[in-house]
Amino acid sequence: MKTVFVGGLVFDGSKAPAEGLGVVVENGRIARVAPAGEFSGFSGKRVDTAGMTLMPGLIDCHVHLVLPGEANLLASFRGTTPQEAVMRVLELAQATLRGGFTSIRDLGGRDYLEIAVRDAFNAGHQLGPTLHCAGKVICMTGGHGWFLGREADGPLDVAKAVRENIKAGADHIKFIATGGVATPNVDPMLAQLTLEELTAGVAEAKRFNRKSTAHAQGAPGIKNAVEAGVGSIEHGFQLTDEIIEEMKKRNVYLVATLASMDRTLSRPDVIPAYMREKAQRFCKMHQDSVIRFYKAGGKLAMGTDAGTPFNFHGENSQELKHLVDLGVTPLDAIRSATGNAADLIGFTDRGRIAEGSWADLLLVQGNPAKDIAAASDRANHRLVLKNGIDVHATLGAPIQGPAPRFPKMEPPTF
Protein backbone atom coordinates (compact mmCIF):
# COMPACT_ATOMS: atom_id res chain seq x y z
CA MET A 1 0.00 0.00 0.00
CA LYS A 2 1.22 3.48 -0.88
CA THR A 3 1.22 6.29 1.68
CA VAL A 4 1.87 9.94 0.91
CA PHE A 5 3.05 12.43 3.53
CA VAL A 6 2.09 15.92 2.43
CA GLY A 7 1.18 19.33 3.84
CA GLY A 8 4.14 20.18 6.03
CA LEU A 9 7.90 20.58 5.76
CA VAL A 10 10.38 17.98 4.49
CA PHE A 11 13.96 17.84 5.80
CA ASP A 12 15.99 15.62 3.49
CA GLY A 13 18.97 15.19 5.86
CA SER A 14 21.05 17.93 4.31
CA LYS A 15 19.28 21.08 3.10
CA ALA A 16 17.01 23.27 5.21
CA PRO A 17 13.45 21.93 5.54
CA ALA A 18 11.44 22.68 2.41
CA GLU A 19 7.79 23.47 1.85
CA GLY A 20 5.53 22.12 -0.89
CA LEU A 21 6.82 18.56 -1.13
CA GLY A 22 5.12 15.20 -0.85
CA VAL A 23 6.87 11.94 0.09
CA VAL A 24 5.46 8.57 -0.96
CA VAL A 25 6.33 5.40 0.98
CA GLU A 26 5.76 2.00 -0.62
CA ASN A 27 7.08 -1.46 0.29
CA GLY A 28 9.30 -0.06 3.02
CA ARG A 29 11.08 2.45 0.82
CA ILE A 30 10.69 6.02 -0.32
CA ALA A 31 9.13 5.69 -3.74
CA ARG A 32 8.65 9.33 -4.69
CA VAL A 33 9.65 12.82 -3.56
CA ALA A 34 7.92 15.49 -5.63
CA PRO A 35 5.97 18.76 -5.50
CA ALA A 36 2.81 18.38 -3.46
CA GLY A 37 0.59 19.22 -6.43
CA GLU A 38 1.50 15.91 -8.03
CA PHE A 39 -0.49 14.11 -5.33
CA SER A 40 -3.78 16.01 -5.57
CA GLY A 41 -5.57 12.90 -6.85
CA PHE A 42 -3.56 10.37 -4.84
CA SER A 43 -5.61 7.21 -4.26
CA GLY A 44 -3.58 5.68 -1.43
CA LYS A 45 -3.34 6.59 2.23
CA ARG A 46 -2.72 10.29 2.86
CA VAL A 47 -1.03 11.65 6.01
CA ASP A 48 -1.55 15.38 6.56
CA THR A 49 1.71 16.76 7.99
CA ALA A 50 0.61 20.41 8.27
CA GLY A 51 2.53 22.12 11.07
CA MET A 52 5.02 19.26 11.16
CA THR A 53 8.34 18.24 9.61
CA LEU A 54 9.02 14.88 8.01
CA MET A 55 12.69 14.02 8.46
CA PRO A 56 14.98 10.99 8.29
CA GLY A 57 14.98 8.73 11.34
CA LEU A 58 17.77 9.84 13.65
CA ILE A 59 21.12 8.04 13.88
CA ASP A 60 23.20 7.66 17.05
CA CYS A 61 26.83 6.94 16.20
CA HIS A 62 27.90 5.92 19.72
CA VAL A 63 25.95 3.68 22.09
CA HIS A 64 26.64 0.71 24.37
CA LEU A 65 23.59 -1.54 24.39
CA VAL A 66 25.03 -3.87 27.04
CA LEU A 67 25.05 -0.97 29.51
CA PRO A 68 21.71 0.28 30.88
CA GLY A 69 22.78 3.63 32.33
CA GLU A 70 23.21 2.56 35.95
CA ALA A 71 25.32 4.62 38.36
CA ASN A 72 28.13 2.09 38.73
CA LEU A 73 28.84 1.10 35.15
CA LEU A 74 31.51 -1.49 35.94
CA ALA A 75 29.49 -3.21 38.68
CA SER A 76 26.43 -3.34 36.43
CA PHE A 77 28.43 -4.92 33.62
CA ARG A 78 30.00 -7.53 35.86
CA GLY A 79 26.71 -8.35 37.58
CA THR A 80 24.83 -9.25 34.39
CA THR A 81 24.79 -12.82 33.04
CA PRO A 82 25.28 -13.40 29.29
CA GLN A 83 21.66 -14.49 29.01
CA GLU A 84 20.46 -11.29 30.66
CA ALA A 85 22.81 -9.27 28.46
CA VAL A 86 21.23 -10.53 25.24
CA MET A 87 17.75 -9.59 26.40
CA ARG A 88 19.05 -6.23 27.62
CA VAL A 89 20.49 -5.46 24.18
CA LEU A 90 17.15 -6.29 22.53
CA GLU A 91 15.14 -4.22 25.00
CA LEU A 92 17.43 -1.20 24.89
CA ALA A 93 17.74 -1.23 21.11
CA GLN A 94 13.97 -1.19 20.81
CA ALA A 95 13.78 1.61 23.38
CA THR A 96 16.16 3.60 21.20
CA LEU A 97 13.99 2.94 18.15
CA ARG A 98 10.90 4.14 20.01
CA GLY A 99 12.85 7.34 20.72
CA GLY A 100 13.13 8.17 17.01
CA PHE A 101 16.51 6.55 16.28
CA THR A 102 16.18 4.17 13.36
CA SER A 103 19.91 3.38 13.16
CA ILE A 104 22.58 3.08 15.84
CA ARG A 105 26.28 2.26 15.99
CA ASP A 106 27.21 0.14 19.00
CA LEU A 107 30.81 0.91 19.98
CA GLY A 108 31.55 -1.82 22.46
CA GLY A 109 29.49 -4.84 23.43
CA ARG A 110 30.07 -8.02 25.35
CA ASP A 111 31.52 -11.16 23.83
CA TYR A 112 29.71 -10.41 20.55
CA LEU A 113 26.28 -11.07 22.12
CA GLU A 114 24.90 -7.88 20.56
CA ILE A 115 25.69 -9.25 17.10
CA ALA A 116 23.04 -11.96 17.58
CA VAL A 117 20.45 -9.22 18.20
CA ARG A 118 21.66 -7.32 15.13
CA ASP A 119 21.18 -10.45 13.04
CA ALA A 120 17.67 -10.94 14.41
CA PHE A 121 16.81 -7.39 13.33
CA ASN A 122 18.37 -7.87 9.90
CA ALA A 123 16.47 -11.14 9.35
CA GLY A 124 13.17 -9.55 10.34
CA HIS A 125 12.68 -11.80 13.36
CA GLN A 126 12.52 -8.72 15.60
CA LEU A 127 11.74 -5.09 14.86
CA GLY A 128 14.66 -2.92 15.78
CA PRO A 129 16.98 -0.21 14.51
CA THR A 130 19.62 -0.87 11.91
CA LEU A 131 22.45 -1.87 14.20
CA HIS A 132 26.14 -1.66 13.35
CA CYS A 133 28.39 -3.37 15.87
CA ALA A 134 32.06 -2.90 16.74
CA GLY A 135 32.22 -6.09 18.78
CA LYS A 136 35.04 -5.92 21.31
CA VAL A 137 36.88 -2.63 21.67
CA ILE A 138 40.61 -3.05 21.10
CA CYS A 139 42.72 -1.66 23.95
CA MET A 140 46.14 -2.11 25.47
CA THR A 141 46.51 -4.47 28.43
CA GLY A 142 44.79 -2.76 31.36
CA GLY A 143 43.61 0.06 29.12
CA HIS A 144 40.35 1.94 29.16
CA GLY A 145 37.40 -0.40 28.65
CA TRP A 146 39.44 -3.56 29.21
CA PHE A 147 36.42 -5.20 30.86
CA LEU A 148 34.44 -5.14 27.60
CA GLY A 149 37.37 -5.27 25.21
CA ARG A 150 40.12 -7.32 23.63
CA GLU A 151 43.45 -6.43 25.23
CA ALA A 152 46.23 -6.31 22.63
CA ASP A 153 49.89 -5.30 22.74
CA GLY A 154 52.08 -4.64 19.73
CA PRO A 155 51.10 -4.07 16.08
CA LEU A 156 50.79 -7.79 15.27
CA ASP A 157 48.51 -8.48 18.22
CA VAL A 158 46.36 -5.46 17.41
CA ALA A 159 46.01 -6.70 13.82
CA LYS A 160 45.03 -10.12 15.16
CA ALA A 161 42.40 -8.51 17.40
CA VAL A 162 40.94 -6.80 14.33
CA ARG A 163 40.74 -10.16 12.57
CA GLU A 164 39.01 -11.72 15.58
CA ASN A 165 36.37 -9.00 15.51
CA ILE A 166 35.83 -9.44 11.80
CA LYS A 167 35.57 -13.21 12.25
CA ALA A 168 32.84 -12.63 14.85
CA GLY A 169 30.92 -10.38 12.45
CA ALA A 170 31.87 -6.85 13.49
CA ASP A 171 30.72 -4.12 11.12
CA HIS A 172 33.46 -1.68 12.11
CA ILE A 173 36.42 -1.51 14.50
CA LYS A 174 36.91 0.62 17.59
CA PHE A 175 40.31 1.34 19.07
CA ILE A 176 41.08 2.82 22.48
CA ALA A 177 43.65 5.55 21.91
CA THR A 178 43.62 7.11 25.40
CA GLY A 179 42.45 6.53 28.93
CA GLY A 180 38.85 7.31 29.84
CA VAL A 181 36.44 8.42 32.52
CA ALA A 182 34.62 5.13 33.15
CA THR A 183 37.66 2.94 33.87
CA PRO A 184 39.46 3.23 37.21
CA ASN A 185 43.21 3.90 37.36
CA VAL A 186 43.56 5.34 33.85
CA ASP A 187 44.15 8.96 32.82
CA PRO A 188 42.05 10.31 29.89
CA MET A 189 44.91 12.62 28.91
CA LEU A 190 47.45 9.85 28.35
CA ALA A 191 47.85 7.97 25.08
CA GLN A 192 47.37 4.21 25.33
CA LEU A 193 47.61 2.25 22.07
CA THR A 194 50.69 3.59 20.27
CA LEU A 195 50.76 5.18 16.83
CA GLU A 196 52.34 2.01 15.43
CA GLU A 197 49.63 -0.17 17.00
CA LEU A 198 46.83 2.08 15.77
CA THR A 199 48.29 2.29 12.28
CA ALA A 200 48.52 -1.49 12.02
CA GLY A 201 44.98 -1.95 13.29
CA VAL A 202 43.39 0.67 11.04
CA ALA A 203 45.22 -0.73 8.02
CA GLU A 204 44.04 -4.26 8.78
CA ALA A 205 40.45 -3.06 9.19
CA LYS A 206 40.65 -1.16 5.91
CA ARG A 207 41.99 -4.25 4.16
CA PHE A 208 38.71 -5.97 5.00
CA ASN A 209 36.56 -2.94 4.15
CA ARG A 210 35.84 -2.02 7.76
CA LYS A 211 35.85 1.56 8.97
CA SER A 212 37.66 2.47 12.17
CA THR A 213 36.98 4.83 15.02
CA ALA A 214 38.88 5.72 18.17
CA HIS A 215 37.95 6.55 21.73
CA ALA A 216 40.33 9.48 22.15
CA GLN A 217 40.21 12.17 24.83
CA GLY A 218 43.72 13.57 25.44
CA ALA A 219 45.59 15.37 22.65
CA PRO A 220 48.50 12.88 22.22
CA GLY A 221 46.15 9.94 21.67
CA ILE A 222 43.81 11.95 19.44
CA LYS A 223 46.77 12.93 17.29
CA ASN A 224 47.89 9.30 17.03
CA ALA A 225 44.41 8.14 16.02
CA VAL A 226 43.99 10.83 13.37
CA GLU A 227 47.43 10.08 11.91
CA ALA A 228 46.61 6.36 11.88
CA GLY A 229 43.59 7.03 9.68
CA VAL A 230 40.43 6.60 11.75
CA GLY A 231 37.16 7.97 10.40
CA SER A 232 35.99 9.56 13.64
CA ILE A 233 37.19 10.67 17.04
CA GLU A 234 34.89 9.76 19.91
CA HIS A 235 34.67 12.39 22.69
CA GLY A 236 37.66 14.61 21.85
CA PHE A 237 38.29 16.32 25.19
CA GLN A 238 41.53 18.05 24.24
CA LEU A 239 41.41 19.21 20.63
CA THR A 240 44.26 21.56 19.84
CA ASP A 241 44.06 23.93 16.88
CA GLU A 242 46.63 21.75 15.10
CA ILE A 243 44.57 18.61 15.63
CA ILE A 244 41.39 20.34 14.47
CA GLU A 245 43.05 21.41 11.22
CA GLU A 246 44.38 17.90 10.65
CA MET A 247 40.94 16.39 11.29
CA LYS A 248 39.41 18.78 8.77
CA LYS A 249 42.12 17.99 6.22
CA ARG A 250 41.53 14.26 6.59
CA ASN A 251 37.71 14.56 6.78
CA VAL A 252 37.66 13.02 10.28
CA TYR A 253 34.35 13.42 12.11
CA LEU A 254 33.95 14.31 15.76
CA VAL A 255 31.35 12.34 17.74
CA ALA A 256 31.10 14.59 20.79
CA THR A 257 28.89 12.54 23.20
CA LEU A 258 28.02 15.62 25.27
CA ALA A 259 25.17 13.73 26.93
CA SER A 260 27.58 11.37 28.63
CA MET A 261 29.35 14.03 30.66
CA ASP A 262 26.11 15.91 31.32
CA ARG A 263 24.27 12.85 32.65
CA THR A 264 27.25 11.54 34.63
CA LEU A 265 27.44 14.85 36.49
CA SER A 266 23.67 14.99 37.02
CA ARG A 267 24.02 12.68 40.05
CA PRO A 268 27.59 13.17 41.30
CA ASP A 269 26.67 11.87 44.74
CA VAL A 270 25.95 8.32 43.57
CA ILE A 271 28.57 7.63 40.89
CA PRO A 272 31.96 6.14 41.80
CA ALA A 273 34.40 8.76 43.10
CA TYR A 274 36.97 8.16 40.35
CA MET A 275 34.33 8.86 37.65
CA ARG A 276 33.09 11.97 39.44
CA GLU A 277 36.58 13.43 39.77
CA LYS A 278 37.42 12.89 36.11
CA ALA A 279 34.08 14.11 34.78
CA GLN A 280 34.31 17.30 36.82
CA ARG A 281 37.91 17.81 35.77
CA PHE A 282 37.33 17.50 32.01
CA CYS A 283 33.75 18.69 31.39
CA LYS A 284 34.56 22.30 30.49
CA MET A 285 37.61 21.27 28.47
CA HIS A 286 35.41 18.91 26.49
CA GLN A 287 32.75 21.53 25.75
CA ASP A 288 35.38 24.05 24.67
CA SER A 289 36.97 21.55 22.28
CA VAL A 290 33.65 20.63 20.67
CA ILE A 291 32.54 24.19 19.99
CA ARG A 292 35.96 25.24 18.69
CA PHE A 293 35.97 22.24 16.34
CA TYR A 294 32.51 23.15 15.07
CA LYS A 295 33.26 26.85 14.61
CA ALA A 296 36.43 25.94 12.72
CA GLY A 297 34.32 24.05 10.19
CA GLY A 298 34.82 20.49 11.45
CA LYS A 299 32.20 17.84 10.76
CA LEU A 300 30.01 16.59 13.60
CA ALA A 301 28.23 13.24 13.70
CA MET A 302 25.81 12.78 16.59
CA GLY A 303 26.54 10.24 19.32
CA THR A 304 25.50 9.97 22.95
CA ASP A 305 27.54 7.21 24.62
CA ALA A 306 24.15 5.92 25.80
CA GLY A 307 24.55 3.35 28.55
CA THR A 308 26.92 5.44 30.66
CA PRO A 309 25.52 6.60 34.03
CA PHE A 310 21.97 8.04 33.76
CA ASN A 311 22.46 8.31 29.98
CA PHE A 312 19.48 6.17 29.11
CA HIS A 313 18.71 4.44 25.84
CA GLY A 314 15.59 5.96 24.34
CA GLU A 315 16.51 9.45 25.53
CA ASN A 316 19.22 9.82 22.88
CA SER A 317 17.60 12.85 21.24
CA GLN A 318 18.67 15.02 24.19
CA GLU A 319 22.11 15.18 22.57
CA LEU A 320 20.63 17.50 19.95
CA LYS A 321 19.72 20.03 22.63
CA HIS A 322 23.18 19.76 24.21
CA LEU A 323 24.74 20.59 20.85
CA VAL A 324 22.49 23.60 20.31
CA ASP A 325 22.98 24.84 23.87
CA LEU A 326 26.72 24.78 23.19
CA GLY A 327 26.37 26.93 20.06
CA VAL A 328 25.69 24.54 17.17
CA THR A 329 22.84 25.76 14.95
CA PRO A 330 19.67 23.65 15.05
CA LEU A 331 20.07 22.83 11.34
CA ASP A 332 23.62 21.58 11.83
CA ALA A 333 22.53 19.60 14.89
CA ILE A 334 19.89 17.67 12.93
CA ARG A 335 22.34 17.22 10.05
CA SER A 336 24.75 15.62 12.51
CA ALA A 337 22.11 13.01 13.37
CA THR A 338 20.99 12.33 9.80
CA GLY A 339 23.09 12.94 6.68
CA ASN A 340 26.42 13.37 8.46
CA ALA A 341 25.87 10.31 10.64
CA ALA A 342 24.90 8.25 7.61
CA ASP A 343 28.06 9.33 5.78
CA LEU A 344 30.25 8.43 8.75
CA ILE A 345 28.79 4.95 9.16
CA GLY A 346 28.67 4.33 5.42
CA PHE A 347 24.92 4.23 4.77
CA THR A 348 23.93 5.02 1.19
CA ASP A 349 20.21 4.33 1.57
CA ARG A 350 19.46 5.61 5.10
CA GLY A 351 19.76 8.96 6.85
CA ARG A 352 18.23 10.96 3.99
CA ILE A 353 14.84 11.38 2.37
CA ALA A 354 15.51 10.42 -1.22
CA GLU A 355 13.86 8.16 -3.75
CA GLY A 356 15.01 4.57 -3.27
CA SER A 357 16.12 5.04 0.34
CA TRP A 358 14.59 2.98 3.10
CA ALA A 359 11.59 4.60 4.76
CA ASP A 360 13.30 5.25 8.10
CA LEU A 361 11.36 8.37 9.02
CA LEU A 362 10.54 10.62 11.95
CA LEU A 363 7.58 13.00 11.90
CA VAL A 364 7.87 15.83 14.41
CA GLN A 365 5.68 18.76 15.44
CA GLY A 366 7.23 22.06 14.38
CA ASN A 367 10.43 22.87 12.52
CA PRO A 368 13.58 21.43 14.14
CA ALA A 369 15.83 23.66 12.03
CA LYS A 370 14.39 26.63 13.91
CA ASP A 371 13.54 25.06 17.29
CA ILE A 372 15.58 21.98 18.15
CA ALA A 373 12.95 20.90 20.68
CA ALA A 374 10.85 19.67 17.76
CA ALA A 375 13.34 16.80 17.43
CA SER A 376 15.09 16.71 20.81
CA ASP A 377 11.90 16.55 22.90
CA ARG A 378 10.14 13.21 22.42
CA ALA A 379 6.83 14.87 23.29
CA ASN A 380 7.01 16.43 19.82
CA HIS A 381 7.53 13.14 17.99
CA ARG A 382 4.37 12.17 16.12
CA LEU A 383 5.42 9.05 14.17
CA VAL A 384 8.45 6.79 13.81
CA LEU A 385 8.72 4.53 10.77
CA LYS A 386 11.32 1.78 10.39
CA ASN A 387 11.46 0.42 6.85
CA GLY A 388 7.93 1.81 6.51
CA ILE A 389 6.67 0.03 9.66
CA ASP A 390 4.91 2.08 12.33
CA VAL A 391 7.21 1.48 15.30
CA HIS A 392 4.92 2.39 18.18
CA ALA A 393 1.92 0.60 16.71
CA THR A 394 4.04 -2.55 16.29
CA LEU A 395 6.11 -2.59 19.48
CA GLY A 396 3.56 -1.01 21.77
CA ALA A 397 4.46 0.96 24.86
CA PRO A 398 7.47 -0.19 26.90
CA ILE A 399 6.78 -1.96 30.17
CA GLN A 400 6.88 0.51 33.05
CA GLY A 401 8.32 -0.55 36.40
CA PRO A 402 9.22 -4.12 37.36
CA ALA A 403 8.47 -6.69 34.68
CA PRO A 404 5.78 -9.28 35.53
CA ARG A 405 7.17 -12.53 36.93
CA PHE A 406 6.04 -16.09 36.41
CA PRO A 407 4.87 -17.84 39.61
CA LYS A 408 7.62 -19.65 41.46
CA MET A 409 7.65 -23.35 40.65
CA GLU A 410 8.39 -26.00 43.25
CA PRO A 411 11.32 -28.28 42.37
CA PRO A 412 10.39 -31.74 41.04
CA THR A 413 10.16 -34.50 43.66
CA PHE A 414 11.55 -37.33 41.56
Residue ranges of the chain with per-residue pLDDT less than 50: 414
- Amino acid 74: pLDDT: 85
Instruction: Write down the pLDDT at residue 79.
Output: 87
d(CA 316, CA 95): 10
- In this predicted structure, what is the pLDDT of residue 404? 53
- The reported pLDDT for the residue numbered 397 is 76
Note whether 93 and 117 are within 8 A (CB). Answer: yes
Q: Which of 392, 263, 265 is nearest to 319 (CA)?
A: 263
pLDDT (0 to 100) of residue 6: 97
- At 211 the pLDDT is 98
Give the model confidence (pLDDT) of 51-96 as tens digits: 999 999 999 999 999 999 999 888 888 888 999 999 999 999 999 9
| Bridge partner residues of 253 (DSSP) | 232
Q: Which residues contact 311 (CB under 8 A, 6 or more apart)?
A: 69, 259, 260, 263, 264, 304, 305
Residue 403, pLDDT score? 53
Give residue-wise pLDDT tens across range 243-300: 999 999 999 999 999 999 999 999 999 999 999 999 999 999 999 999 999 999 999 9
Residues 6 or more apart in contact with residue 223 via CB below 8 angstroms: 242, 243, 246
- Identify the CA nearest to 309 among candidates 62, 68, 146, 106: 68
Cβ 123 vs Cβ 134: under 8 Å: no
The span from the CA of 67 to the CA of 92, in Å, is: 9
pLDDT of residue 412: 56
**pLDDT at residue 410 in the model:** 63
Q: What are the C-alpha distances in Å from 179 to residues 136, 288, 353, 355? A: 16, 19, 39, 43
pLDDT for 206: 98
What pLDDT, on the 0 to 100 scale, is given for residue 405?
53
Angstrom distance (rounded) from CA 101 to CA 94:
9
Contacts of 165 (CB under 8 A, 6+ apart): 134, 135, 136, 138, 150, 173
Where exactly are the structural domains of the chain?
3-56+352-393, 58-345
Q: Is it true that 3-56+352-393 and 58-345 share their CATH fold? A: no
> Hey, what CATH class is 3-56+352-393 in?
mainly beta
CATH of domain 58-345: 3.20.20.140
For residue 87, the model assigns a pLDDT of: 95
> What pLDDT score was predicted for residue 123?
94
